[in-house]
């Protein structure tokens, strides 16, 4: 399982309340996840179309999802 920090990685003082995202790689799939540093873990994101876990077959698509999520958050 691999990890890729994304979208600013570290939480700074000015965006302290911002959600932190990362990409988890398992085999040939890439899962955008929400990082919870306080709990020491992460949350997988539910796919609203299938009800399963959101995953992509390439890292660029997962990064694109994270960018869209961050834009909606602002």
pLDDT of residue 73: 85
Judge whether 30 and 57 are in contact, CB under 8 Å.
yes
Domain ranges of the chain: 2-7+19-73
Output the CA torsion 17→69→20→6 (10° steps).
-140
- pLDDT values of the chain reduced to their tens digit, one per residue, 74 residues: 565 555 444 333 345 667 899 999 999 999 999 999 888 999 999 999 999 999 999 999 999 999 999 999 88
Judge whether 21 and 32 are in contact, CB under 8 Å.
yes
pLDDT of residue 33: 97
pLDDT of residue 13: 38
pLDDT of residue 8: 41
């Amino acid at each position: 399982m691999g990890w890729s920090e994304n979208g600013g990685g570290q939480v700074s003082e000015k965006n302290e309340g911002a959600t932190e995202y990362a990409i988890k790689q398992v085999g040939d799939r890439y899962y955008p996840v929400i990082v919870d540093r306080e709990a020491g873990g992460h949350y997988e994101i539910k796919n609203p179309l299938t009800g399963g876990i959101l995953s992509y077959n390439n890292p660029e698509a997962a990064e694109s999802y994270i960018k869209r999520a961050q834009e909606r958050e602002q």
